[in-house]
Amino acid sequence: MTKLSVNVNKIATLRNARGTNVPNLLNVALDIEKFGAEGITVHPRPDERHITYKDVYKLSKSIDTELNIEGYPNENFMKLVLDVKPHQVTLVPDPPHVLTSNAGWNVLGNKSLLNEVLGEFKKAGIRTSVFMNPSAKEVEEIQYIDVDRIELYTEAYASGFSDKEKAILPFIEAAKIATEMGVGLNAGHDLNLDNLAFFKQNIEGLLEVSIGHALISDSLYYGLEKTVGMYKKCLK
């Protein structure tokens, strides 16, 4: 089974546009769970321009499904994750002002940082994941760190989807390498109603996808309940 974790950053972005509590992030997250999603993902950025640290503390106390916190492991992020103890932490090599995540880790270049922070999260009993490009060579480098899962960065798959048979190939190879190493597989970025089912059908052992932008955008047309159902159907 592949779990659907909905990234609710866009809901916070909409709320922050007015400085009020509309839409109510917590209620939306609880409804997303009620409509069948198996997890909620948040990606607090250093400038808190969408999800705030306060939001994460609040969400963590109320949601029943899996909470996945994504981000760059600076001091504030480490404190937040160790306080909240989510089910999963996904480390992303984001520079502070980047618009959205745009690359996976260079594991060898960040080996000591990654081993140090992954060790702390493991000690706290939190499942760990690192964001990775779909490159066989780069994924092979996870042998140098102790991590439970990788999240494959799917932007290249989404942008190459017009030739989907070709676009999926590096992901199949990267997924196989991770699986052979005993590392679990997540995926995310730019997945949508057009490209999700083909990805799921071709990537064996896909444990979780985290989806935000397209899912929240689709819900403007279909409504949140129906949209969550449509994404879940792609994962069957």
Q: Based on CB atoms, which residue is closest to ligand PXP, 149 or 189?
A: 189
Residues 36-55 that bind ligand PXP (CB under 6 A): 43
Query: 84: how many CB neighbours lie within 10 A of its CB?
Result: 19
Active-site residue identified among 43, 50, 66, 138 = 43
Catalytic, 43? Answer yes
Per rule CB under 6 A, is residue 189 in the interface with ligand PXP?
yes
At 133, list the tokens.
């490009």
Task: Read off the DSSP letter of residue 219.
Answer: H
Identify whether the C-beta of residue 102 lies closer than 8 Å to the C-beta of residue 74.
no
CB of 150 to ligand PXP, least distance (A): 11
CB of 94 to ligand PXP, least distance (A): 7
Contact pattern from residue 63 through residue 102 relative to ligand PXP, giving x for each residue in contact according to CB under 6 A and a dash for the rest: -------x-------------------x-x-------xx-
Q: Based on CB atoms, which residue is closest to ligand PXP, 44 or 170?
A: 44
Per rule CB under 6 A, is residue 7 in the interface with ligand PXP?
yes
CB of 216 to ligand PXP, least distance (A): 8
Concatenating the DSSP letter of every residue in 144-191 gives: GS--SEEEEE-HHHHHTGGGHHHHTHHHHHHHHHHHHTT-EEEEESS-
Catalytic, 70? Answer yes
Task: Read off the DSSP letter of residue 111.
Answer: H
Looking at 88, 195, 210, 227, which residue binds ligand PXP (CB under 6 A)?
210
C-alpha distances out from residue 54 to 57, 61, 72, 80, 163, Å: 5, 11, 17, 9, 42
CB of 89 to ligand PXP, least distance (A): 11
C-alpha distances out from residue 65 to 6, 40, 90, 97, 190, Å: 11, 7, 16, 30, 23
Kindly provide the b/e burial profile for residues 120-139, where b requires at least 16 CB atoms within 10 angstroms of the residue's own CB. bbeeeebbbbbbbbbbeebb
CB of 192 to ligand PXP, least distance (A): 8
Alpha-carbon gap, residue 35 to 145, rounded angstroms: 36
Per rule CB under 6 A, is residue 188 in the interface with ligand PXP?
yes
Q: Based on CB atoms, which residue is closest to ligand PXP, 127 or 180?
A: 127
Active-site residue identified among 66, 138, 151, 189 = 189
Identify whether the C-beta of residue 28 lies closer than 8 Å to the C-beta of residue 224.
yes
Tell me the number of residues near ligand PXP by CB under 6 A.
19
Active-site residue identified among 70, 138, 151, 208 = 70
Q: Based on CB atoms, which residue is closest to ligand PXP, 50 or 60?
A: 50
The residues that are catalytic are: 43, 70, 189
